[in-house]
Amino acid sequence: MALIEIKNFKKSFQGHDVHKDINLSIFSGECLGIIGGSGVGKSVLLKSLIGLIKPDDGQVLFKNQDITKLNEDELVEVRKKIAYVFQNGALFDSLSVYENLAYPLKEHTMMTEQDIYQKIYKTLDEFGVLNAINKYPAELSGGMQKRVGLARSIIMDPEVILYDEPTAGLDPYNTKIIQETIIKLKNKNVTSIFVTHDMPSAFAVCDRIAFLNQGVVAAVSDVKEITNNNDNEISAFAKGLRP
């Protein structure tokens, strides 16, 4: 049974239909890649999975609960289980790296300051950014900001992680670190949804890939099969070629 189900999802902005009818199932423990051209609404779809954007119509079921019907207070419980990794980290620039990571822990747990420190220390160490613990986001490189953003997202041990282009604009070294982290989390049975344009990363971490085009899911297939799709546009996109 699917962990997350998107049914008849529709969303438009100022008369422009971004999503006409999206239907998609995400299963527990898998990593689903969502690909498609710029402006097809990949990030909109991802934000809808955590209730940051409400659809015009349709359902987003998480463990059979329709999150589109929940208000902000009710969504808190969902957001403890589903983490979101923002494209540019979205770190709070008035807080240090330590304070950024402590933020969800202080908000949702009764952990002592000592326990919070130990957890943050361990997490930052895993991501190789321990030296940034007392720095502010503005003092970090783009790659470090993304890694700290990812560390903040997983610190609550979520069941699902939504990645919004986590490798965009990164050097090969940082890209590799992010890929390894996603694979490590997948091995711990964390479900991942991975929005990307970076096809090598998608091939490295995803089990299945969904291709969005013209407001619908044009194809969903095993990661190895997407390049052999009958639709020339889909296979060319996956191969990084012009259709």
Partner 1 sequence: MNYFTMTYPFLIFLGGSTKLLYLSIKEFFKGKVEKDLVIEQVYQVGIKSLPVVLVTTGFIGMVMALQFGIGLAKFGGKLYIPKIISLSIVRELGPVFASIMISARVGSGMTSEIGSMRVTEQIDAIRALGASPIAKIVLPRVLGCFIALPVLTAFANTIGILGGLLVGSNDLGLDPNYYFQKVLSTINVADYMSGFMKCFFFSFLVSVPACYFGLNVKGGTKGVGIATTKTVVTSCIAILIGDYFLTKLFWVIEKWL
Residues that bind partner 1 (CB under 8 A): 47, 50-52, 72, 75-77, 79-80, 83-84, 86-88, 90-93, 103-104, 107-108, 152
Q: Where are the beta strands (DSSP E) in the chain?
A: 2-13, 16-27, 31-35, 57-62, 65-66, 82-85, 160-164, 191-195, 208-213, 216-222
| Torsion angle (degrees, nearest 10) of CA 101, 103, 104, 106 | 120
CB of 48 to partner 1, least distance (A): 12
106 Cα distance to chain centroid? 23
Question: 86 or 211: whose CB is closer to partner 1?
Answer: 86
CA dist., res. 104 & res. 128, Å (int): 21
Question: 52 or 218: whose CB is closer to partner 1?
Answer: 52
Question: 1 or 110: whose CB is closer to partner 1?
Answer: 110
CB of 74 to partner 1, least distance (A): 11
CB of 83 to partner 1, least distance (A): 7
37 Cα distance to chain centroid? 17
Q: Are 146 and 170 in contact (CB under 8 A)?
A: yes
CB of 152 to partner 1, least distance (A): 8
43 Cα distance to chain centroid? 9
CA dist., res. 91 & res. 146, Å (int): 9
CA dist., res. 127 & res. 238, Å (int): 29
Question: 53 or 218: whose CB is closer to partner 1?
Answer: 53
Question: 33 or 51: whose CB is closer to partner 1?
Answer: 51
CB of 52 to partner 1, least distance (A): 5
